[in-house]
A and B are shown apart, each in its own frame.
Chain A
Amino acid sequence: MSLSRAKARKRQRMYIIGAALLAVAGAAALILTAFEDSVVFFFSPTEIIEKSPIDPDQRLRIGGLVVEGSVQKLQDGKTIAFAVTDMAQTVPISYSGILPDLFREGQGVVAEGHMSSDGTFVASEVLAKHDENYMPPEVAESLKKSGYWEEIEAKNAEQMRN
Chain B
Amino acid sequence: MHRFAKPSVFLKLTDPLLPWLSGATAILIAAGLYFALFASPGDYQQGDTVRIMYLHVPAAWMGLFCYVGMAVCGAMSLIWKHPLADICARATAPIGATFTALCLITGSLWGEPMWGTWWVWDARLTSMLILLFLYLGYIALVNAFDDPERGSKAGSALALVGAVNVPIVKFSVDWWNTLHQPASIVRMDGPTVDPSMQLPLALMILGFTCYYFVMLILRVRLELNERRIRALQLSGMFDERSPGQNTDTPSYDAGHNAEASQ
Is residue B196 within 8 Å, beta carbon to beta carbon, of the partner chain? yes
Q: Give CA–CA (A139, B43) in the complex, Å.
A: 10
Given contacts A17-B78, A101-B113, contact A139 B160 (CB under 8 A): no
Chain B residues positioned under 8 Å from A107 (CB to CB): 45
Chain A: residues with Cβ within 8 Å of the partner, total of: 44
CB within 8 A of B168: which of A28, A63, A135, A160? A28
**A132→B183 contact, CB < 8 A:** yes
Nearest CB on B from A60, distance (A): 13
Contact with A along B180-200 (1 / 0, CB 8 A): 011110010000111011000
Grouping DSSP codes into helix (H, G, I), strand (E, B) and loop, the B interface class, with mixed when no group exceeds half, is loop
Stretch of A48-56, A65-73, A74-82, A121-129 lying at the B interface: A121-129
Nearest CB on B from A143, distance (A): 9
Interfacial residues of chain A within 127-147, with CB under 8 A of chain B in the complex: 127-141
**B192→A159 contact, CB < 8 A:** no
CB within 8 A of A24: which of B50, B53, B78, B164? B164
Chain B residues positioned under 8 Å from A137 (CB to CB): 41-42, 44
Given contacts A100-B115, A136-B41, contact A21 B163 (CB under 8 A): yes
Is residue A59 within 8 Å, beta carbon to beta carbon, of the partner chain? no
Chain A residues positioned under 8 Å from B122 (CB to CB): 41
CB within 8 A of B116: which of A13, A20, A28, A128? A128
Is residue A3 within 8 Å, beta carbon to beta carbon, of the partner chain? no
Nearest CB on B from A128, distance (A): 5
Chain B residues positioned under 8 Å from A39 (CB to CB): 123, 176
Nearest CB on B from A32, distance (A): 7
**B177→A102 contact, CB < 8 A:** no
CB within 8 A of A102: which of B45, B192, B193? B45
Is residue B79 within 8 Å, beta carbon to beta carbon, of the partner chain? yes
Chain B residues positioned under 8 Å from A131 (CB to CB): 181-182
Is residue A44 within 8 Å, beta carbon to beta carbon, of the partner chain? yes
**B78→A13 contact, CB < 8 A:** yes
**B176→A41 contact, CB < 8 A:** yes
**A130→B46 contact, CB < 8 A:** yes
Given contacts A32-B168, A130-B115, 13 further A-B contacts (CB under 8 A): A17-B160, A41-B178, A125-B116, A127-B120, A134-B46, A134-B192, A134-B193, A136-B42, A138-B41, A140-B44, A140-B45, A141-B44, A159-B177
Which residues of A pack against B, CB within 8 Å? 10, 13-14, 17, 20-21, 24-25, 28, 32, 36, 39-42, 44, 63, 98-102, 107, 110, 125-141, 159-160, 162
Which residues of B pack against A, CB within 8 Å? 41-46, 50, 53, 75, 78-80, 113-117, 120-123, 160-161, 163-164, 168, 175-179, 181-184, 187, 192-194, 196-197
| Listed A/B pairs (24) with beta-carbon separation below 8 Å | A13-B79, A14-B79, A17-B79, A21-B163, A41-B122, A41-B176, A41-B179, A42-B177, A42-B179, A100-B114, A100-B115, A128-B114, A130-B45, A130-B46, A131-B182, A132-B182, A132-B184, A134-B43, A134-B50, A134-B194, A135-B43, A136-B197, A138-B41, A141-B44
